[in-house]
Structure 1
Amino acid sequence: MTRPIILDLTPDAQGMATLFAAVQAPDHVRPVLVLFSGAAAQVATAITQARDLLRQCGVAGVEVHAGSPGALVATHAPAPVAQGAEGLGAQYLVEAIRACPPDSVTLCCSGPLTTLALALIQAPDVRTHLHGVIVSGGALFSPGDATAVAERNIAADPEAAATVLAMGVPVTLIPLDCTARLNADAVWMEGLAPMGVMPASVAGHVHALLAAARTGGARGSGVDISLRAAAPLLALLSPGIFCGHLAHVDVECHGTFTRGMTVARHIGMGGVQPNALVLERMSVEAGRGVLRELLLAGQGAEA
């Protein structure tokens, strides 16, 4: 069965690589909508790149839009809104979910959950169309990457994450504990060298984006970059390389030092009911291997 998927991506090289990988598995997944959320300039660039990528790969009918800008609760000055994205991200998401049959579509979210939270608030009926929501976010036992205790995607909009977890949708959470070592190191990039043989191709462009991200500008050359953006897609395509457990995940929305912190309570004690499948471990080498093979499969992807 080919499952319809919606990709809510970060507007960076890793997000573009995830999109490119997703279109290489047509027997398993079929993208129906792509969203990008982040800084306006980066989102605008990513949208242009993604539309061109899909066109060159011969994938028709997939809309690409900006996700909802900002957070549900503004804690500082509003971020600039990407052109054409004036609050429409959630509307595009609702329309795409409703267009899919009940219990069919999976959302792969590698950024903040603002757009999904707004869609669920505005149109609770879309829950019946969702087969699952796979989220790269949270930090349970490892340090956070936004604060000492909070992972950046959850910290960017804790209220949105709490809303999604409270809406009764089937959530799979992939925290930092699981993906901390899922990186693009020098050895992995060397395995992608065939992608760069034809720089003008879509594969060559994706390879160049990843290589530039690893160069890191002022950070120095050859810096490993996280591949966490691809973790939700990997969990959907290769669930056997992950292991986890059902839990009730809470999000701290108020603490001065703990805002954005995620806490997982095991079920079976005190009437605790699960609201997520938490993936606590993965075979990093297997995951990087799956992603590498998908990317290499796209070398001749141009239509």
Structure 2
Amino acid sequence: MSRFRVIIDADPGVDDAAAILMALASPEIDVLGLSIVAGNVPLQDTLTNACKIVGVSGRNDVSIHAGAAGPLVRDQVFGRYARIGSFSDELVPHSSMVPAEEHAVRFIVRLAREAAEAGDLITICAIGPMTNIALALVQHPDVARGIGQIVSMGGAFTALGHRTPWAEFNVLADPHAAEIVYRSGVPIVVMPLDLTFQALFTAEHFKSFGDCGAAAGCALCNLFSTFDRSDVARFGRPGGPIHDAMTIAWLIRPELFASRKATVGTQVAGLTMGYTYADFHRMLDRPPNATVVTNVDEAGFINLLIERISLYGSAVPDSKRCEA
């Protein structure tokens, strides 16, 4: 079995929690560390949440690195639940983990250079604003040689936005960083809202996370049960997406997905700042720069995420099952 050596660049965030816990439970993924950015909430809160998520997984060997506290150029915007700040101890237990001293950008640069020298390239799963990654690529262009691919959750094409009518949040929060990454020449996989809206999780699925009996599963059950993600008016049925976990699922089970090559870019100024476009038909005089994931096997993805979270509780007796 081949393993992906992965840096998870995140702004935890409820979806980020699911992606991180999924990756840490998966033998196909060697999580080299987390590079944390402000996004859903301010940096101090994303750091606290990252420490809690890794702590609840039991993987105290995974380092957490503080990165950019704001976007490259634009005024800062936060996510829908920014007022909540960090996860309460009732939702996710307190962790004694603390961030490493090494800055997230320096961490990315160091590991990418080591990977290039060894000929064993790393993958970056970008599930927040891409500020850290853009800073690494701009300040140290040679690091691109050590990055095999960037698997990103971001953008919205026909689905339009969920933070503004035209923009997905991760791109909206730092469109200049997204455009730098898209134009970097590093192979990039784009997972837009058009894709993530295809797989909807219901209360029964959240209960399945808690049924594993482990602290990690109970934390996910608590988070998704507290922060309602359903939107019947938009989706046409009950349930809501878990966007970020698709990046991990794509690495583990690519057969669950379909994709197309396209030229992807971002509007970096004006009223529609953060709008992303995908040219599938070579209408622009630019070669494709991305693999856009277009479709997912909904049941396969949902079952895979539940299966991986259940691994945390494989040795927990039934008497310790969580209540949803």
TM-score by length of 2: 0.79
Name which of 105, 116, 133 aligns with 2:150. Answer: 133
1:279 equivalent among 293, 313, 324? 293
The CA deviation at 1:36 is 2.6
* Structure 1 residue 75: Cα displacement: 2.7
CA change 1:226–1:254 in 2 (3 A) is same
How big is the shift at 1:189? 1.7
Choose from 39, 42, 45 the match for 1:42: 45
Per-residue deviation at 1:76?
5.7
SS in 2 for 1:226: coil
Q: Structure 1: how far apart are the matches of 2:170 and 2:195?
A: 15
Structure 1: stretches of 5+ with no match in the other structure: 217-222
Given that residues 210 and 220 in structure 2 are in contact (C-alpha distance below 8 angstroms), is that contact kept between their aligned partners in structure 1? Answer: no
- Partner residue of 2:194? 177
Distance 1:73 1:163, change over 3 A: same
2: CA distance between counterparts of 1:192 and 1:46? 19
Stretches of 4+ moved more than 6 A in 1? 82-87
- Alignment of 1:150 with 2:167, yes or no, is yes
Match of 2:106? 91
Matches within 5 A, 1:89-238: 89-100=104-115, 101-102=118-119, 104-195=121-212, 197=213, 201-214=215-228, 224-238=239-253
Query: 36-45 or 232-241: which moved more?
Result: 36-45
Distance 2:287 2:53 in 1: 39
User: Partner of 1:228: helix, strand, or coil?
Assistant: coil
Determine whether 1:24 maps to 2:25. Answer: yes
Give 1:52's aligned residue.
Answer: 55
Give the aligned partner of residue 235 of structure 2. Answer: none
- Structure 1 residue 278: Cα displacement: 0.7
Question: Residue by residue, what CA displacement relative to the aligned partner does 1:104-163 show, whole Å, maximum 9, x if unpaired?
Answer: 211111111111000111111111111110110111111211211111111111100100
**Structure 2 CA distance, aligned partners of 1:76 and 1:22?**
29
Q: Deviations over 1:253-291 (max 9, x none)?
A: 1222x1111111125456430110111111222111111
Structure 1: distance between partners of 2:193 and 2:179: 18
SS of 1:234 mapped into structure 2: helix
Amino acid at match of 1:123: H
Partners of 1:49 and 1:40 lie apart in 2 by 14
User: Could you tell me the percent identity over the aligned residues?
Assistant: 26
In the alignment, residue 67 of structure 1 is paired with which amino acid?
G
Q: Distance in 1 between matches of 2:54 and 2:161?
A: 33
Q: Deviations over 1:225-266 (max 9, x none)?
A: 53101111111111111112111112111222x111111112
Q: Separation in 2 of the partners of 1:88 and 1:163?
A: 20
State whether residues 138 and 154 of structure 1, in contact with CA within 8 Å, keep that contact through their aligned partners in structure 2: yes
One-letter identity of the residue aligned with 1:118: L
Residue 16 of structure 1 deviates from its aligned partner by 2.0
Q: Answer whether contact 1:142 1:177 (CA < 8 A) is retained.
A: yes
Give the equivalent residue in structure 1 for 2:94.
none
Structure 2 partner of 1:220: none
CA contact (8 A) 1:140 1:264 kept: yes
Q: Distance in 2 between matches of 1:268 and 1:226?
A: 30
Matched residues, number? 285
* CA positional deviation for 1:173: 0.4
Are the equivalent residues in 2 in contact too, given 1:202–1:301 (CA < 8 A)? no
1:179, distance to aligned residue in structure 2 (A): 0.7
Tell me, in whole angstroms, the C-alpha distance in 2 between the residues paired with 1:3 and 1:40.
27
Structure 2 Cα separation of the partners of residues 89 and 41 of structure 1? 14
Contact 1:7–1:107, Cα closer than 8 Å, also in 2: yes
